[in-house]
Structure 1
Amino acid sequence: MLPVERQKKIIDLLTVKKVLKMPELREEMGISIDTLRRDISALAEQGKIKKIYGGVKLAEPKFGEVSMEERMISHLEEKTAIAKTCDEHIEDGDCIYLDSGSTTYQIARYIKEKRNLTVITNSVPVILELMNSNVELIVIGGKVRKNERSVVTYDYLFNFHQLNIQKAFICASGITMEKGISDYNVEEALARKKIIDISHEVYVASDSSKFGRNVTVNIAGLDEVDYVVTDQKVREEVIRGFDEVKTELIISKE
């Protein structure tokens, strides 16, 4: 196995388990301790992992949220599987909201053949993806966040309550059982709060790496969300936690 392949596997393992002790990681990898130390040093120098006493963990972004470009390619297999699962919950004739985010962008790729589908969005990549499809597009107006390729809007610019959204697909940067879903940006969080308030059903589409994080701005408690759609790498303790709340956890089939 090449160094880059080994290092990707280490990142994948840490995405699932968050923290790994050196003996556990060496057993999972099936490599010598010297090779493992070289790979860990390389990943630490790249800022991807952090060494802790007796083990390693994923490094948190130094300045909050990672860029949209990075998120578009990270955990891509998981996000694709989540998108396919969300597509199964979208029917012909629905009016849905697609949030700005790398996972909801993947949903847009799978819904182009739906009949009489209306998509309301604040995501520039979603708009571009659906521009030449038969999907009817409604774009909420407001200020463009260029780095996020999104539009954030306010009550005085856009009348949210005229929208009749059957299903909203929301992104989140963090999810915990205690605090619910959260995000890094205040303006994005305010728009999401509005959409959650007026939507008949709310789906949070989020890969398993987001669980256990509570970031800058709270969006909503889990009691305000109907479904959380995630991938098969979700930890067992997270799955058990959803037994205690009314929110349904949907795990992708792939």
Structure 2
Amino acid sequence: MAKAAANYVENGDVIFIDSGTITLEMITFLKNKHVTIITNSLDIIVQALPFENSNVISTDGVLERDTKSFSTYNKQNSFGKYNFDKVFIASTDVSILNGVTNSSPIESGIKETIVKGNAEVFLLVDHTRFEKYAMFTYCGLKEIDYLITDDFLNESYQD
């Protein structure tokens, strides 16, 4: 999934990469591309350190130890000003009824702001996360431009 997502990234792109295990794996496949990566993930920052052709920008906020990501209630100042080409986000769970969900209210607010921008939105989520939902919905499925997963989905999600 990470390799498939990285294949959409072109030299010169300004991208946001969300915290998450699948999104973290994207860094390996971006090592030869000249991109600007904006992220709230400490792991992504560390993983991207050896790749000098990538410009890495960290968002501000408080470190959430569980997800190793930076979160802030002041999401508009942090994310509303960036002009991303592509956004790669993760999700706790996904359902047709509840949309794309997350367990953290702060992270959900950040994700909601990022998805509402003008960038192409890529959701990376494995098949075990479907037909479930977490506490907060940060976007509907119609707001996702590309869904990258590891197995075929039933027809209701394909529609």
Q: TM-score, normalised on structure 1?
A: 0.59
Choose which of 31, 47, 62 in structure 2 pairs with 1:129: 47
Q: Give, in whole Å, the separation in 2 of the partners of 1:124 and 1:84.
A: 20
Q: Give, in whole Å, the separation in 1 of the partners of 2:42 and 2:56.
A: 12
Alignment of 1:6-155 (within 5 A): 82-115=1-34, 117-133=35-51, 134-155=53-74
Which deviations, in whole Å up to 9, do the C-alpha atoms of 1:63-88 show, x marking residues without a partner?
xxxxxxxxxxxxxxxxxxx0010011
- Following superposition, which runs of at least 4 residues in structure 1 exceed 3 angstroms of deviation? 156-159
Q: Give, in whole Å, the separation in 2 of the partners of 1:190 and 1:178.
A: 19
Q: Give, in whole Å, the separation in 2 of the partners of 1:166 and 1:148.
A: 25
Q: Give, in whole Å, the separation in 2 of the partners of 1:216 and 1:156.
A: 19
Q: Give, in whole Å, the separation in 2 of the partners of 1:101 and 1:110.
A: 16
SS of residue matched to 1:120: strand
CA contact (8 A) 1:176 1:211 kept: yes
Matched, 1:191 2:110: yes
CA contact (8 A) 1:140 1:153 kept: no
SS of residue matched to 1:158: helix
Q: Give, in whole Å, the separation in 1 of the partners of 2:62 and 2:76.
A: 10
Q: Give, in whole Å, the separation in 1 of the partners of 2:7 and 2:114.
A: 21
Select the structure of larger CA radius of gyration.
Answer: 1
Q: Give, in whole Å, the separation in 1 of the partners of 2:146 and 2:124.
A: 9
CA contact (8 A) 1:94 1:166 kept: yes
Q: Give, in whole Å, the separation in 2 of the partners of 1:126 and 1:159.
A: 18
One-letter identity of the residue aligned with 2:49:
M
Q: What is the aligned length? A: 158
The CA deviation at 1:120 is 0.4
Q: Give, in whole Å, the separation in 1 of the partners of 2:75 and 2:147.
A: 31
Q: Give, in whole Å, the separation in 2 of the partners of 1:143 and 1:159.
A: 12
Q: TM-score, normalised on structure 2?
A: 0.93
Identity %: 27
SS of residue matched to 1:154: coil
Q: Give, in whole Å, the separation in 2 of the partners of 1:178 and 1:147.
A: 27
Unaligned runs of 5+ in 1: 1-81, 245-254
One-letter identity of the residue aligned with 2:29:
Y
Greater RCO, CA 8 A, separation 6+: 2
Q: Give, in whole Å, the separation in 2 of the partners of 1:157 and 1:223.
A: 22
- For the aligned residue pairs, the C-alpha RMSD in angstroms reads 1.5
Greater helix fraction, Structure 1 or Structure 2 = 1
- 1:205 maps to what in 2? 124
Which deviations, in whole Å up to 9, do the C-alpha atoms of 1:157-189 show, x marking residues without a partner?
834222010110000011112221101111111
SS of residue matched to 1:162: coil
- 2:157 maps to what in 1? 242
